[in-house]
Amino acid sequence: MTPVRVRRRPGSILWMALGVGVPLAFLAVFFALPVAGMLGRGLIADGPFIEVLLRPRTLRLIGLTLAQAAIASVVCVLVGLPIAHVLYRLRFRGRGVMRALVIVPFVLPTVVVGVAFRTLLREGGILGFLGLDATFPAILLALVFFNIAVVVRTVGGTWEGMDRRQEDAARVLGASPRRVFLTITVPRLAPSIVAAASIVFLFCSTAFGVVLVLGGTRFGTIETEIWLLTTQFLDLRAASVLSIAQLVVVTALLLVAARARGRSTAQRRVGAVLSARAPRRGDMLPILATAVTALLLALPIVALLLRSLQSSEGWGLHNYIALGTTGARNALAVTVWEALGNSLTIAILATVIAVFIGLLACLALSRTPRTARGRRALEFFDGALMLPLGVSAVTVGFGFLITLNQPPLDLRSSFILVPVAQALVALPLVVRTVLPVLRGIDPRLRESAAVLGSAPWRVLRDVDLAIAARPVLAASGLAFAVALGEFGATTFLSRPDRPTLPVVIYRLIGLPGGDNFGMAIAAAVVLAAVTVLVIALVERLRVGTIGAF
Amino acid sequence: MQKIIPVALAATLLLAGCASAPTPEGPPSKLVLVTHDSFNLSEGTLAQFTEQTGIEVEVQAAGDAGELVNKLVLTKGSPLGDVVFGIDNTFASRAVNEGVLEDYVSGDLTDAESQYLLPADQGGEQLTPIDNGDVCINVDHEWFASAGLEEPVTLDDLLKPEYKNLLVAPAANSSSPGLAFLLATIAAKGDGWQDYWQALVDNGVKIDAGWSDAYYVDFSGPSSEGDRPLVVSYASSPPFEVQEDGTVPTGALLDTCFRQTEYAGVIAGTKYPKEAGQLVDFLFSTVVQNDIPENMYVFPVNAAATLPEGWSDYAKIADDPFVVSPAEIDANREQWLTEWAAIATP
């Protein structure tokens, strides 16, 4: 029997145009234009091009950047997978809280974590005997600490919705758990593992604060060098050369990732039922691994908590009480609580922008065009969405200043740039979390809905959006966390009368006097607590949506 | 055709609107003050400018002193604001050479403040001094007292074997006090500064990325966690460590200081040069100057300003700080920092 041929309706072309057009327009204005502006400035300037690239220092920095990002991504995947299994495949009491807690490191301000890590690692610190202060492994540890949540949440979201029957069948037929895991689970998870690893890679390759604080300035990256060249030396030529090197590296990575994702298309099928079950004896290994990692993740956080309870008055809540003030001797323009209010408002806006644009993009990306050229164009579009993660915040930030300065885009002093910049960072996370699930939807579901007379918007609502609801919520939580913790672009754009919480923390930690430091740590704890709360609430919502299936 | 007419009309109106913009009539309702991140004044201070002139002040922070100047340079064609505050003597030359400032210096300066003016061709006609602060080695008195060790006094003392592994400094290429300390050594040692730094490294100086890292993680002071009793910080840091019972646990070594002076100026291309000049004058007036120490941890330059209680007792300034001319800094910054990095962070 020949398959039913569904005539393409005009409606679906409209969706495609919206899905590709809106995100591309967004990226063109807020990413491509500023970056091109900066590169343009650098490249018209006189000076060496190849020479900059071949300097031993440049080559060493490119090598270091690649090495730290690659190693950190691999470690994140290896350590993150067992946690994703435990938190998303098993059902147990306290799971929701643990899922929310995992994200804490991801939102902590780098400068605070840097100080917390160094307090542990320095000579005479609790972990001083390891001799890790100002070493390459210290940077790696911190990068893994920050990014493990990306793997856990991205992979976990897919894993949770994955139909378990194939694995169960294999078990029944006598395959060992190991074999089931390696031959069924991993290949089916591959798209989201690759997605998570590439996000972590991009985050790590543009890491800035951590590398500086923990490497003791010895281990620069392309990112720290661009910062130095742009903000200190105003050597735009050399900065542009490095920005281009960064773009090439990132593009190469995205191509590799797209190929790796593409190979495993055949195996994806998403079930509509949650696959979590009660823990069994066979789960001991991942549970153990999760427990060990949880302890390691908790160490710097507990150190921070303890430090937040110490002030010049001794142990107690003085630092938290001080959050209602503007700090010792008027350190801040607003109280920490007001800054938290600003942060929440901006992060919600950023989340809405990122999810809206991300969803549109996902709807377009989840369709398979009939022509090879169409498929290639979509792949290109997919890569373009990821680029902002891999390009220096310094380049984009300075680019904003020199390109968004004339009507109708006279935005550089506008408040809206802050959430837009945060959304730019959150957008790839939304796409990578939601897309694997949408791609996994059996196209026959849509076709049958269409054959049965549903309008395209109805297909979209009742098939795509219904199935994607869970990952969309997961993505919103992640996007919100990114926006809340974002510092690099925010500090560049935020206005002094409306500082965000990370900006305020950074200011407090930059002033002498014991209680300012204590307040900074307490504020970081509050930032983490608020994030956990919001993520936990989103988890609750997720439980609510299951009934809608 | 029906659609085109309203569009054309709107475009004409827009163009008309643009064309009339460069010739404003009367004073503006608002001036934009571009500053570095550390800018801070008490609530109501800037409002006094509004009371005096009817003009509101909008503050735009633009990063540290270096970023601030670079942003002004990059946006020369369409300025970020009307007045800039926070250009320091290490970046003044770049701002002046790139032509981002109008010629204007507050006429309220007296002989008492002329010492802070920059040389004529290096910003003397464009930048009005507002505040200054010294970057000096801070010392943990209690640590030295309990170790029974004499405190160091000069830069040369830091090389003595008894002070091995006691100093921590923020990196010159990622921290502004770090750069100030490097400049102090360059002023003190001239061409011999590289040997001096090699000797510092051999004597165990620890280099951290930033000030907070050095001060809070490695320094041994009362609000810090570390075990090194010497740190590169500000001369204004010790007052913040004074305990409630009046003990003074830390101090600044006044023979190791580099002076940072911060300036304000009128940004080239402002539509309101006259009012911008008034704002510069206001920043130099005692209204702002009295408010500066408590909010920005630096000293006002205006001789008529009064210091807050306690400052005269605890906050000392160097009599004879090290000086490097802005032009020399600008010409050599990249080379110095590259050479410094090779020695200090191999």
At residue B8, the pLDDT reads 41
Shared domain for B178 and B234, answered yes or no, is yes
CA distance A144 to chain B (A): 20
Shared domain for B52 and B122, answered yes or no, is yes
| pTM for the full predicted model | 0.80
A312 inside 8 A of chain B by CB: yes
Percent of chain A with pLDDT over 90: 15
Shared domain for B210 and B266, answered yes or no, is no
- Count CB pairs under 8 A between chains A and B: 139
Shared domain for B80 and B141, answered yes or no, is no
In whole angstroms, give the CA distance from residue B73 to residue A179: 62
Q: Tokens representing A509?
A: 């930690």
At residue A267, the pLDDT reads 40
pLDDT band at A541 (very low <50, low <70, confident <90, very high): low
Domain ranges, residue B304:
28-132+260-313
CA distance A223 to chain B (A): 13
Shared domain for B339 and B207, answered yes or no, is yes
Residue B11 lies in a domain: no
* Ramachandran area for residue A238 (φ above 0: left; ψ -120 to 50: alpha; else beta): alpha
At residue A510, the pLDDT reads 76
A60 inside 8 A of chain B by CB: no
Residue B79 lies in a domain: yes
Shared domain for B196 and B332, answered yes or no, is yes
Shared domain for B124 and B265, answered yes or no, is yes
Q: Please name the residue of chain B whose CA is at the shortest distance from the CA of residue A113.
A: B213
**Given an 8 Å threshold on Cβ–Cβ distance, is A234 in contact with B94?**
yes
**Given an 8 Å threshold on Cβ–Cβ distance, is B217 in contact with A119?**
yes
The HSE-up count of residue A390 (CA atoms within 13 Å, CB side) is: 25
CATH 1.10.3720.10 spans which residues of chain A? 9-41+316-549, 67-221
Shared domain for B62 and B121, answered yes or no, is yes
| Residue range B4-9: mean pLDDT, rounded | 41
Shared domain for B254 and B264, answered yes or no, is no
Shared domain for B100 and B186, answered yes or no, is no
Domain range A9-41+316-549, CATH architecture: Orthogonal Bundle (1.10)
In whole angstroms, give the CA distance from residue B54 to residue A470: 54
At residue A542, the pLDDT reads 55
Shared domain for B254 and B110, answered yes or no, is no
Residues in CB range of B6: below 8 A, 6 or more apart: none
Which of B34, B223, B241, B307 is most worth mutating to test chain A (most A CB atoms within 10 A of its CB)?
A: B223
Return the ∠ at Cα A226 (arms to A223 and A232), rounded to 5°. Answer: 130
Total count of domains within chain B = 2
pLDDT band at B1 (very low <50, low <70, confident <90, very high): very low
Residue B251 lies in a domain: yes
In whole angstroms, give the CA distance from residue A517 to residue A142: 21
Q: What is the DSSP string of B168-210?
A: EEE-TTT-HHHHHHHHHHHHHHGGGHHHHHHHHHHTT-EEESS
Residue B277 lies in a domain: yes
What angle separates helix A466-485 from helix A417-439, to the nearest 10 degrees?
150
Residue B7 has pLDDT above 50, yes or no: no
A461 inside 8 A of chain B by CB: no
Average pLDDT, chain A: 82
Shared domain for B149 and B246, answered yes or no, is yes
CA distance A234 to chain B (A): 6
| Residue range A347-363: mean pLDDT, rounded | 93
In whole angstroms, give the CA distance from residue A455 to residue A1: 26
| Residue range A174-194: mean pLDDT, rounded | 86
At residue B25, the pLDDT reads 61
Contacts of B211 in chain A (CB under 8 A): 510
CA distance A495 to chain B (A): 6
At B336, which CATH number?
3.40.190.10
Residue B227 lies in a domain: yes
| Residue range B43-71: mean pLDDT, rounded | 88
| Residue range A405-422: mean pLDDT, rounded | 81
**Given an 8 Å threshold on Cβ–Cβ distance, is A510 in contact with B212?**
yes
Residue B1 lies in a domain: no
- Whether the CB-CB separation of A486 and A265 falls below 8 Å is answered with no
Identify which of A331, A491, A513 has the shortest CB distance to residue B241: A513
User: Lowest-pLDDT range, A99-108, A197-206, B227-236, B324-333?
Assistant: A99-108
Alpha-helical (H) ranges within chain B are 4-20, 45-53, 65-74, 92-97, 141-147, 176-189, 193-202, 211-212, 273-284, 286-289, 292-296, 311-314, 326-344
Residue B327 has pLDDT above 90, yes or no: no
Q: What is the pLDDT of residues A291-326, one digit of tens each?
A: 998 888 888 888 889 888 988 778 888 889 888 887
At residue B128, the pLDDT reads 96
Q: What is the pLDDT of residues B181-213, one digit of tens each?
A: 999 999 999 999 999 999 999 999 999 888 888
In whole angstroms, give the CA distance from residue A142 to residue A275: 33
Residue A533 has pLDDT above 70, yes or no: yes
Contacts of B40 in chain A (CB under 8 A): 330-333
Q: What is the pLDDT of residues A317-345, one digit of tens each?
A: 888 988 888 776 666 778 889 999 999 99
**Given an 8 Å threshold on Cβ–Cβ distance, is B74 in contact with A402?**
yes
Residue B159 lies in a domain: yes
At residue A97, the pLDDT reads 81
Residue B313 has pLDDT above 80, yes or no: no
**Most confidently predicted of A49-53, A139-143, A537-541, B313-317:** A139-143
Pick the CATH number of A67-221 from 1.10.1740.10, 1.10.3720.10, 3.40.50.2000, 2.60.40.10: 1.10.3720.10
At residue A300, the pLDDT reads 86
At residue B208, the pLDDT reads 87
**Given an 8 Å threshold on Cβ–Cβ distance, is A406 in contact with B217?**
no
Residues in CB range of A147: below 8 A, 6 or more apart: A72, A73, A76, A106, A200, A203, A204
Residue A174 has pLDDT above 70, yes or no: yes
Residue B319 lies in a domain: no
